[in-house]
Amino acid sequence: MSTLTITTIQTSLYWEDKQQNLQMLEQKIKSIKERTEVIVLPEMFSTGFSMKPEQLAEEMNGEAVSWMKRIAVEKRAIITGSLIIKDGEDYFNRLIWMQPDGKYGYYDKRHLFAYAHEDQHYSSGNKRLIASVKGWKINLQVCYDLRFPVWTRHNFAATEGNPEYDLLIYVANWPERRNHAWKTLLQARAIENQCFVVGVNRVGKDGNEIYHSGDSCVVNPMGELLYTKEHDEDIYTITLHKQDVDDVRTKLPFWKDGDKFMILND
């Protein structure tokens, strides 16, 4: 059965300084000695969680997207994380899934964090992105999406009664003062969807003096922690086995009793 090797990069970010962040992240990525297939960066990895898209946004041919394309080619690995993107007249907190062949997919954050006025500066996405690699299906999400389980729940009606994906990835700028929710919900998403979950968060204070403790996690389909790290910067590589997902779903086929539903977009 297929394996998938993933590297998580938990790091501090330079506040609203794209060049510094890209240079720093490139050094960290080049330091990865193990063979890896997917490298996961935090939310808004080139700027931090900023509410200044008018000043900081780039289009899809911009510097950070081009950087992702170059690094993916050089490292021969998929690079994913979110950026501030301008598309037409709208701004998005956009997760990009950049493949080594230069092809990419993207997901625009669905749930905007109104508590920090994200909804006043960005437009909400309305489509999920489930990527495919080596026989794995991967559901890609951003930070606050974690609090909304319906958005990540398998839509069995769309897949003839089968689970939609094997792995959930969340990229985040999740504050330390709510880290209990972060860790608990990552495990809950793994348990209820019987899948692996990878959550990558930043560390350190941002430009608003909000502290982030990281607590990046890898969780197995039973909800058990395979890895977590708090406070410190860390680069961690792990190989996941798809057989583990299949075994859990076969021995404990709870997914078959899931509710059928439709998500209506506004």
Tell me which residues are annotated as active site.
43, 109, 143
How buried is 160 (Cβ within 10 angstroms: 0-12 exposed, 13-18 middle, 19+ buried)? Answer: exposed
Q: Tokens representing 54?
A: 């008018």
CA triple 192-195-196, angle to 5 deg: 125
Q: Tokens representing 230?
A: 């708090």
Distance CA 184, CA 14 (A): 28
Nearest one of 46, 143, 51, 146 to 91, comparing CA atoms: 51
Question: Residue 195 phi/psi, 5° resolution?
Answer: -145, 165
**CB distance 109 to 82 below 8 Å:** yes
